[in-house]
Amino acid sequence: MKKRTGCLLWLLMVVVQSVCGQAIGTWKSYLAYTNTTECAEANNLVYAIADGSMFSYNKTDQEIVYYSKENGLSDNEISHIGFNESINTLLITYANGNLDLLNEQGIYNIPFLKSSVSIQDKTINSIYFHNEFAYLSTEFGIMVVNMKKREI
């Protein structure tokens, strides 16, 4: 009886361990990158949006880097990107109105439009840059982002 219980306990431990799956921090994203819709050139990098996901291509060493929430982006479903040459920063807009600024220092999130309760349609149609400002054409009008100060 003890031998049978021990065998059953050992079998249960093996099954539980295999069912637990991957350890925390070892997940890998498999996003679609087949239908490229928008590109932005930034110094030696070319950023691209494909099926709502983003990647960059380094023209010097031909390295491709994939971006997602897994490595620092704030959201999913990227709608537009644009590179502001005057401050060397990439602006990333999402379908839900969220904004990210990507530069050498890292990624900075501006959730103003996403978290706004009074604005219903948060669609961003296009981006225009002048100096450190990004002018976003939206359904409710023009929204100005001071990319240097990181504020609306």
pLDDT tens digits for range 63-94: 999 998 888 899 888 999 999 999 999 999 99
Burial of 101 (0-12, 13-18, 19+ CB in 10 A): buried
Provide the pLDDT for residue 79.
Answer: 93
Locate the domains of the chain by residue range. 32-146
Dump pLDDT digits (tens) for 5-26.
Answer: 655 665 656 655 555 555 666 6
| Cα pseudo-dihedral 69, 74, 80, 84, rounded to 10 | -110
Dump pLDDT digits (tens) for 102-136.
Answer: 999 999 999 988 888 788 888 999 999 999 999 99
Task: Please determine, for residue 57, whether its predicted confidence score (pLDDT) is greater than 70.
Answer: yes
Rounded Cα–Cα distance for residues 141 and 19 (Å): 51
Element spanning 6, H or E:
helix 2-19
Provide the pLDDT for residue 9.
Answer: 60
Q: Which CATH class is domain 32-146?
A: mainly beta
Tracing tokens 């100005």 back to the chain, one arrives at 144
Task: Please determine, for residue 39, whether its predicted confidence score (pLDDT) is greater than 90.
Answer: yes
Report how far Cα 92 is from the mean position of its chain's Cα atoms: 8
